[in-house]
């Protein structure tokens, strides 16, 4: 056993233990960047998620053994955010679950999970269960946020609805004692989301040890809050939803479930096929594009029509339609489909303090495929996590090939999944020798 000195001269240890704990947490816990922020028009820019995270500093742990012994446990207590969304609906450098899966830690990481989920991924894949089963994690609590832009057919102002299949297929770890769902929509649809929340409170979530989590009721398990955001989302200004020029007011209804001391007698099987669709009788969804019916205007058109900043939605649409008439246009798409899907920086945001979200969004999977990108894990092709993870490692492999072919081959063989070149040939087969047998070029050169 290693002994420690009393460290009497150290002012830190003159502080009460509970105050030292707060200091250790502040130092070791990742925090929002103070120098970088996301573009204001990005879909993921919201309170608490407007800046990238910066890792905590571990330098304090290296100062002395006593500090290390007191503070090391906080390295294994954290809050992790995952996006079960398409690549265009999340920060480019958001946490990749494939990387978390291979964390090398001495014991499980006690974590609160915050999940942002598009319904088409939450309801149609096993992505949530894949996250819940991540081996390094000992999950204490989970929250799932359904943003305004995550509901089915939100672009067409479809009625809000939820399918319960995913809740029945999800088996929470035995360590979870609390689960929260945040339902967000534009404020004009507040009554609609309240109807959904009223039905959602009847749902029951199960743990792997067969214990159930029940809604805590209106007093302890229901909250409401509002916030105001930019009406331009990923390069489209949503005139339909504006409450003021260039602003949208949002309402968030949150429901919380907890362990029940006694079984209420309500079987979770009752909700196996339940669909919450309170406005199902409303007219069918129109599939006319939002640009065609005037619900949204692309930023390219706003610039082309010389619409001044701060113009109200009626005048904005009038100016755009006059521009279309003068130029015999029906409406204007984005100059680039790529820009349409990804939030770029506004003209006044071209500074180093605003993250350039287009830099890390190369979704061309022609160079290399990884086996895991096709097996559906973590959403598969819906989320692109497998391909992104594979490309990161393949890039490192190519760098190694420039200096140490033997190390590169060893690295490739230690990867947890098999990779293939653009022709579909395995790089781990006999063909793999550091050069392409057909062209003679080394990988990383013209052969790829």
Which of 137, 217, 203, 218 has its CA nearest to residue 170? Answer: 203
Q: What CA–CA distance (Å, rounded) separates 242 from 186?
A: 9
Q: What CA–CA distance (Å, rounded) separates 87 from 336?
A: 16
DSSP string, 111-149: EEEEEEE-HHHHTTSSHHHHHHT-TTEEEEEEEEEE-GG
**Tens digits of pLDDT across the chain (448 residues):** 555 566 567 788 888 888 988 888 888 888 899 999 999 999 999 999 999 988 888 888 888 888 888 888 787 788 899 999 998 899 988 999 988 988 877 778 899 999 999 999 999 999 999 999 998 899 999 999 999 999 999 999 999 999 988 998 899 999 999 999 999 999 999 999 999 999 999 999 999 999 999 999 999 999 999 999 999 999 899 999 999 999 999 999 999 999 976 554 444 444 444 677 777 656 666 667 888 888 999 998 999 999 999 999 999 999 999 999 999 887 676 555 444 567 778 888 878 899 887 766 654 444 455 554 556 789 988 888 887 887 777 777 778 888 888 888 887 777 656 665 555 556 555 434 443 333 333 333 322 2
Question: How buried is 72 (Cβ within 10 angstroms: 0-12 exposed, 13-18 middle, 19+ buried)?
Answer: middle
Task: Report the relative pairing of strands 247-259 and 222-230 from DSSP bridges.
Answer: antiparallel
């Amino acid at each position: 056993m290693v002994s420690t000195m009393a460290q009497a001269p150290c002012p830190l240890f003159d502080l009460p233990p509970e105050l030292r704990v707060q200091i250790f947490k502040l130092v070791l816990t990742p925090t929002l960047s103070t120098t970088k922020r996301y573009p204001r028009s990005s879909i993921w820019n919201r309170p608490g998620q407007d800046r990238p995270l910066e890792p905590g500093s571990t330098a304090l742990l290296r100062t002395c053994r006593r500090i290390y012994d007191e503070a090391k446990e906080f390295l294994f207590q954290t809050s992790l955010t995952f996006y079960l969304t398409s690549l265009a609906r999340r920060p480019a450098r958001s946490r990749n679950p494939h990387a978390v899966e291979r964390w090398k830690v001495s014991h499980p990481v006690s974590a609160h999970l915050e999940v942002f989920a598009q319904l088409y991924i939450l309801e149609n894949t096993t992505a949530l269960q894949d996250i819940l089963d991540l081996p390094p994690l000992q999950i204490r609590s989970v929250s799932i946020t359904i943003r305004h832009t995550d509901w089915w057919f939100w672009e067409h102002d479809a009625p809000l609805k939820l399918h319960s299949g995913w809740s029945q297929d999800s088996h929470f770890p035995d360590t979870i004692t609390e689960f929260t769902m945040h339902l967000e929509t534009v404020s004009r649809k507040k009554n609609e989301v309240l109807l959904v929340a009223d039905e959602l409170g009847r749902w029951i979530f199960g743990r792997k040890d067969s214990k159930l989590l029940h809604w805590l009721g209106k007093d302890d398990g229901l909250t409401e809050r509002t916030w105001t955001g930019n009406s331009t989302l990923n390069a489209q200004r949503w005139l339909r939803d504006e409450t003021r020029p260039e602003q949208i007011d949002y309402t968030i209804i949150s429901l919380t479930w907890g362990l029940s001391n006694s079984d209420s007698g309500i079987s979770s099987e009752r909700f196996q096929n339940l669909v919450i669709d309170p406005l199902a009788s409303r007219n069918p969804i129109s599939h006319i594009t939002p640009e065609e019916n005037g619900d949204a205007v692309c930023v390219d058109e706003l610039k082309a029509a010389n619409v001044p900043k701060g113009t109200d939605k009626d005048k904005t649409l009038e100016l755009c339609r006059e521009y279309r008439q003068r130029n015999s246009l029906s409406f204007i798409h984005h100059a680039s489909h790529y820009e349409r899907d990804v939030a770029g920086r506004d003209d006044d945001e071209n500074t180093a303090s605003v993250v350039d979200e287009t830099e890390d969004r190369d979704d061309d999977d022609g160079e290399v495929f990884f086996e895991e990108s096709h097996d559906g894990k973590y959403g598969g092709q819906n989320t692109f996590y497998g391909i992104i993870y594979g490309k990161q490692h393949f890039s490192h492999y190519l760098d190694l090939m420039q200096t140490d072919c033997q190390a590169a081959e060893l690295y490739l063989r230690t990867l947890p999944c098999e990779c293939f070149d653009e022709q579909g040939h395995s790089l781990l087969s006999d063909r793999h020798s550091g050069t392409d047998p057909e062209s003679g070029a080394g990988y990383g050169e013209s052969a790829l």
